[in-house]
Amino acid sequence: MNNTTGKADRTSLVLLGNFEVENQWAQGEPRLGGSVTRTAALVNSMDEFALLLGGEQDHVVLKSYPDLDYLEFLHGLGFGLPAIHTVSEQHPDRTVTEDALADAGLLAGLSGIPAPVVLAPHGISVLEEELAKRAGIPLMGPSAAVCKAVNSKVYSRRLAERIGLRQPSGWACETQEELDAALPGAEKLLEAGEVLLIKEAFGVSGKGIATVESRQRLRRVIQLLRRSAERLGTNRVNVVVERRVVKTSDLNYQFTVGSDGSVCFDFVKEAHTVRGVHQGHRFPVPLTGAQRASLEVAANRLGHELAADGYYGVVGVDAMLEPGGGVFPVVEINARNNMSTYQRRIEAEFMEPGQLALTKHYGLQLTAPIGFAAVRECLGGLLLARPGHSGLIVNNFATMNAASCAVGGFQGRLYGVLLGADDCEVERMDAEVVRRLGRLGSERGRAA
């Protein structure tokens, strides 16, 4: 993430894992409503992912100090970690940025970090701009207004149309008039037996998407949008209406746009989703030369357009593969860090040529908080010992106990990266992790 080499003049990063920054970008925008959401406590505790983005000369702001046994595990693997700054009072329903803004002592501490230093958030909204201003630290990225604009799904679709990138049949509708103009074509697709997806401009993690299979359902969704716009006193609807395509897999690729307008293709991974919700990644991806080339061409063209519109930084793009091998190179643009961004260091430092990686999260039903020591004992030899070996690297433990304030039990979540020699070994380890954690959850439930 920071590629300067001289330690004396190296710019330090202050990392901030403000996940689902889309919720800030969506303020004042019409909503479809009825979306299933994860608990805010769990999402906000994903800030711990940022711990592995920095080195020993960097800093990270967290809602809570990490489990000491978990830190020992990371140090044992050889990770050099950033200096940790925690808020004095964290609220589960607030992002790390919101907690930091409410902490005068933390702000004073951040302002004392020697220059050169920059604030490096997951994504930039007006809250991160305010944090940078109050801490007196330059922001690593463009303005919140630019970040919001280029992260809109309406922007993604119109940009792909403008530069000729293949995408499913559909329409970008910023206003109610544009939505009215799209309806006859949408109804024709439904009459032909197609299924439509209506997507909010700033939906994230499978939220803000309506599946439409009939004209009656289409009318109900449109009515919801109109009512939402009316309540906001706006003519905007900001949705994408498009045909749902048959696909064999979802892809996510990342590229970086330099402040000079240069574009660097970083990687491509296969996304694992369940009912539209991201579950993890698998890599390397067995793409043909032509498939990979189409993604690299798309990244280069998208990157130069983003630069022209004032954006620079990390960009993640969702793509799809068809049964016949065809590629839809851009489903949507995420001009911010992505889940795969937080796996890059593990891939670079621990993965050997020929190895396979599977990233995912594991759920446990718990009745009381659980420490990393118990999880480590439970998983035993399944945890990775050294680079080039097979095993699991836990890359976020904070999510395990994030929802522990819930009454009557809660869902703990453990994030990790499984490294193995081949599919069979990774699948075997995955099944064993699931089995052991399930047993641990049962034992803890009985003990309570």
Q: What is the pLDDT of residue 86?
A: 98
> Cβ distance 267 to 194 under 8 Å?
no
The mean pLDDT of 61-81, rounded to a whole number, is 97
Which has the minimum average pLDDT: 64-78, 82-96, 271-285, 374-388?
A: 271-285
Distances (CA, A) of 389 to 73, 280, 393, 436: 16, 21, 11, 20
> Cβ distance 412 to 335 under 8 Å?
no
Residue 3 lies in a domain: no
Residue at a domain's end among 277, 304, 335:
335
Residue 283 has pLDDT above 80, yes or no: yes
Residue 74 lies in a domain: yes
Q: What is the pLDDT of residue 213?
A: 98
Could you tell me the CATH number of the domain that includes residue 294? 3.30.470.20
pLDDT tier for residue 204 given thresholds of 50, 70 and 90: confident
- If DSSP codes are grouped into helix, strand and coil, which group holds residue 248? coil
Q: What are the structure tokens assigned to 327, written together?
A: 């590629």
Residue 3 has pLDDT above 50, yes or no: no
The mean pLDDT of 33-44, rounded to a whole number, is 71
pLDDT tier for residue 22 given thresholds of 50, 70 and 90: very high
The mean pLDDT of 373-378, rounded to a whole number, is 96
Quick one: 320 and 435 in the same domain? no
Quick one: 218 and 277 in the same domain? no
Quick one: what percent of the chain has pLDDT higher than 70? Answer: 94
User: How many other C-beta atoms lie within 10 A of the C-beta of residue 185?
Assistant: 14
**Tens digits of residue pLDDT in 147-191:** 999 999 999 999 999 999 999 999 999 999 999 999 999 999 999
Q: How many domains does the chain have?
A: 4
pLDDT tier for residue 407 given thresholds of 50, 70 and 90: low
Could you tell me the CATH number of the domain that includes residue 417? 3.30.70
Q: How far apart are CA 134 and CA 320, in angstroms?
A: 41
Q: What is the pLDDT of residue 128?
A: 98
The mean pLDDT of 333-358, rounded to a whole number, is 95
DSSP 296-318: HHHHHHHHHHHHHTT--EEEEEE
> Cβ distance 329 to 323 under 8 Å?
no
- If DSSP codes are grouped into helix, strand and coil, which group holds residue 433? helix
CA atoms within 13 A on the CB side of 226: 11
Give the distance between the most distant pair of CA atoms in the chain: 66
Residue 34 has pLDDT above 60, yes or no: no
Distance of CA 353 to the CA centre of its chain: 26
Quick one: 124 and 21 in the same domain? yes
Contacts (Cβ under 8 Å, ≥6 apart) of 81:
51, 52, 54, 55, 56, 71, 74, 75
Mean pLDDT of the residues in the chain: 93
The mean pLDDT of 294-299, rounded to a whole number, is 98
Residue 6 has pLDDT above 60, yes or no: no
Q: What is the pLDDT of residue 280?
A: 85
Contacts (Cβ under 8 Å, ≥6 apart) of 198:
32, 209, 210, 212, 221, 239, 240, 241
Residue 271 lies in a domain: yes
Q: What is the pLDDT of residue 39?
A: 76
Q: How far apart are CA 61 and CA 82, in angstroms?
A: 10
